[in-house]
Amino acid sequence: MREPQPWFSREELGHIVTWKMMRGTWRPRNKALTLSNDELAVLDATVKGCFALKRVADSSKKVLYEYEYSCADDDSTLAAIKQAINSVAALSGIGPASASAVLSVYAPDLVPFLDSPMAKAITSPPLGPIKFTTKYYLAFVKRVRTKARVLEAARALWVYAAASSLLHPNSRVPRAELKDSSPLPGLDCTTASLSAPAAAGPSQ
């Protein structure tokens, strides 16, 4: 990605929109509208979108993973994501889903792609019928980040258990120690699954 001034060209937007439609519903008019944007308008919109994220992208990558995803859920970060999505979605042929695809190229750890199968997979509680609006997207972001945080905790527990069994093959880690070392408030390591979490694959 271009630094220190990140931006996308009209041609690049066209490629991203094509990729997104190949994973979901093919709408030729959307690509035509995307390519009809003035090059300077694309430059301006994508610069604004990337810079809105740039202010928070670095701060979301904490050394301690337990803070990584919670950082993305505070009001200031969600406001930055909203600003970024709205900036790019102001272009013709670009909605919040396409804008999320564009911005996820720049900040994949901060901006998840609004993927229909993934949104449908969120069931507890469900997000409801998919709406390609900024409001729906922000709700999607919060749920994805929360789930990612839980999966990171599960991965950490699996690594901890695997390492313990290698270093101390003839002993077991005391349950009390596991419970006290829980990386997430309210998560009991003694009952959490230690199997490696499966990754969900996006589509649309």
pLDDT tens digits, residue range 100-144?
A: 999 999 999 899 999 888 888 887 778 889 999 999 999 999 988
Q: For residue 146, give both structure tokens.
A: 């929360």
Residues 146-180: pLDDT tens digits?
A: 887 777 766 676 676 777 667 666 655 554 444 44
Backbone dihedral region for residue 6 (phi beyond 0: left; psi -120 to 50: alpha; all else: beta):
beta
Distance CA 153, CA 48 (A): 34
DSSP conformation letters of the chain: ---SS----HHHHHHHHHHHHHTS---HHHHHHHHTS-HHHHHHHHHHHHHHHHHHHTTT--SSHHHHTGGGGSHHHHHHHHHHHHHHHTSTT--HHHHHHHHHHH-TTT-----HHHHHH-BTTB--S---SHHHHHHHHHHHHHHHHHHHHHHHHHHHHHHHHHH-TT----HHHHHHT-SSTT--TTTS--SPPPPPPP--
Domain boundaries, the chain: 10-167
60-101 pLDDT, tens per residue?
554 334 444 444 457 888 999 999 999 999 999 999 999 999
Judge whether residue 186 has pLDDT over 60: no
pLDDT at res. 60 = 55
Backbone φ and ψ for 92, nearest 5 degrees, come out as: -65, 135
Q: In this structure, which amino acid lies at residue 68?
A: E
Q: Which residue has the higher pLDDT, 164 or 49?
A: 49
129 to 12, 13, 132, 137: CA distances (angstroms)? 30, 27, 10, 12
pLDDT at 169: 63
So what's the pLDDT on residue 73?
57
* pLDDT value of position 133: 96
Q: Is the pTM of this model over 0.85?
A: no
Torsion over CA of 131, 132, 137 and 140, rounded to 10 degrees?
40
Question: Comparing 58 with 29, which gets the higher pLDDT?
Answer: 29
Q: State how far the Cα of 123 lies from the Cα of 192, in Å rounded to an integer.
A: 20
Do 60 and 78 meet the contact criterion of CB atoms below 8 Å apart? no
